[in-house]
């Protein structure tokens, strides 16, 4: 298979980092560039983490463009309580060997697809601030992309950052609304936190397999998620830390892993109490669908892909 040309927009916390490993070392993608945005951690911290993660995956030549340092209209609210102060489990990772590009992420998100219309797939793993800013400049920007996959939203109303909202949409709901206003189901696929909660939870057995694999990427993936593991134990009550960004990346690289999806109209709430809630309209009178919404993936298929990349069997 020809590797899929990718742009990745990330707020590089510990799950984003694993998604970057899957993209950069999984053999299924050619990562053309990474853009960073404030979210899990402040912009500079997420940019540092993206560079570290790409180096861990052996992708030292992928350009990284820093982007927006706060949401479109709101103050920045990070998720350092989930991923650690440094977003990577606070394990003392050394500085990356290289610096980010001088260009801005929003310029890259606009210019890269113009150089190769219809070729690039965009995967977003973060608040949609950068993508929304690029869309405000060109409302039809998505026509230049092959496809856009967004880790975004809690379509079943079961939230992580609030009782009803998922972090990426909650952090910048206005940006999510801008993206949805430019989306069509043939072009934009959303993978919500329900998929991660149901099909991408790293059980104690999975965590032990990563820990014992002994490969640099497996050890990295295991160690940086230690804060997320504590968050799962103390707050979400899941059997282990979940991997929302890696499962969204897996959907982009391996669409065959999707077992349930629907075309539906989605909007997001921007009020105080309802901030970031997904409004999924299935009425007959609903507006035309604007996204393909993934609801389930193959858990075994996803985890096999994860382990094949991070902890390949010795003979592999
Ligand atoms: O809600 C999960 C999302 O928020 C993931 O992208 C995670 O990295 C955080 O940014
Ligand atoms: Ca993220």
Please write the tens of the pLDDT for every residue from 62-107. Answer: 999 999 999 999 999 999 999 999 999 999 999 999 999 999 999 9
Residue 167 lies inside a defined structural domain of this protein: yes
Q: Is 182 in the pocket of ligand 1 (CB under 6 A)?
A: no
Say how far apart CA 213 and CA 314 lie, in whole Å: 9
Tell whether the model's pLDDT for residue 313 goes beyond 90: no
Contacts of 36 (CB under 8 A, 6+ apart): 9, 10, 11, 12, 43, 46, 47, 50, 64, 65, 66, 67, 100, 105, 126
Domain encompassing residue 128: 4-310
315 has a pLDDT exceeding 70: no
Q: Would you state the pLDDT for residue 314? A: 67
In the reported structure, the alpha carbon of residue 84 is separated from the centroid of ligand 1 by a whole-number distance in angstroms of 13
Q: Which ligand is nearest to the CA of 166?
A: 1
Share of the chain above pLDDT 70, in %: 99
- Segment 21-73, tens digit of pLDDT: 999 999 999 999 999 999 999 999 999 999 999 999 999 999 999 999 999 99
pTM of the complete model beyond 0.85: yes
248-264 average pLDDT score: 98
The pick from 151, 169, 191, 278 for probing ligand 1's pocket by mutation, whose C-beta has the most ligand atoms within 8 angstroms, reads: 151
Among 245, 268, 275, which residue has the most ligand 1 atoms within 8 Å of its CB, making it the best to mutate? 245
Position 197 scores a pLDDT of: 97
Domain count, the chain: 1
Q: Distance between CA 23 and CA 20 in Å, rounded?
A: 5
The CATH number assigned to the domain holding 258 equals: 3.90.245.10
* Proximal ligand: closest to the CA of 195: 1
Residue 315 in any domain: the answer is no
Average pLDDT of the chain, as a whole number: 97
Q: What is the pLDDT of residue 167?
A: 98
Does 316 fall in a domain? no
Neighbours of ion ligand 2 (CB under 5 A): 11, 16, 125-126, 245
Give the residue, by CA position, lying nearest to ligand 1 atom 1.
167
Q: Which ligand does the CA of 243 lie closest to?
A: 1
pLDDT tens profile 146-194 = 999 999 999 999 999 999 999 999 999 999 999 999 999 999 999 999 9
């Amino acid at each position: 298979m020809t590797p899929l040309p990718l742009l990745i927009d990330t707020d590089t916390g510990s799950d984003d980092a694993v998604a970057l490993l899957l993209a950069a070392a999984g053999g299924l993608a050619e990562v053309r560039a990474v853009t960073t945005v404030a979210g899990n951690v402040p912009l500079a911290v997420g940019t540092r983490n993206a560079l570290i993660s790409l180096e861990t995956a052996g992708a030292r030549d992928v350009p990284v463009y820093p982007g927006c340092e706060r949401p479109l209209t709101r103050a920045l609210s990070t998720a350092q309580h989930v991923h650690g102060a440094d977003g990577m489990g606070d394990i003392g990772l050394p500085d990356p060997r290289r610096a980010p590009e001088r260009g801005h992420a929003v310029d890259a998100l606009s210019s890269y697809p113009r150089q190769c219309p219809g070729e690039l797939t965009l995967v977003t793993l973060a608040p949609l601030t950068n993508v929304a800013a690029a869309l405000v400049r060109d409302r039809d920007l998505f026509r230049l992309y092959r496809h856009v996959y967004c880790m975004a939203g809690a379509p079943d109303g079961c939230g992580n950052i609030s009782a009803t909202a998922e972090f990426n949409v909650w952090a910048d709901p206005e940006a999510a609304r801008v993206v949805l206003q430019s989306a069509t189901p043939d072009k934009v696929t959303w993978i919500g936190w329900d998929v991660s909660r149901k099909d991408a939870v790293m059980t104690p057995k999975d965590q032990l397999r990563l820990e014992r694999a002994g490969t640099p990427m497996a050890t990295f993936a295991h160690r940086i998620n230690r804060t997320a593991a504590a968050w799962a134990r103390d707050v979400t009550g899941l059997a282990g830390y979940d991997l929302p960004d890696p499962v969204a990346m897996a959907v982009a690289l391996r669409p065959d892993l999707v077992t349930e999806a629907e075309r539906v109209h989605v909007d997001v709430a921007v009020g105080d109490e309802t901030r970031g809630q997904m409004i999924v309209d299935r009425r007959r009178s609903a507006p035309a669908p604007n996204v393909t919404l993934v609801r389930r993936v193959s858990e075994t298929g996803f985890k096999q892909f994860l382990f094949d990349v991070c902890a390949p069997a010795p003979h592999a």
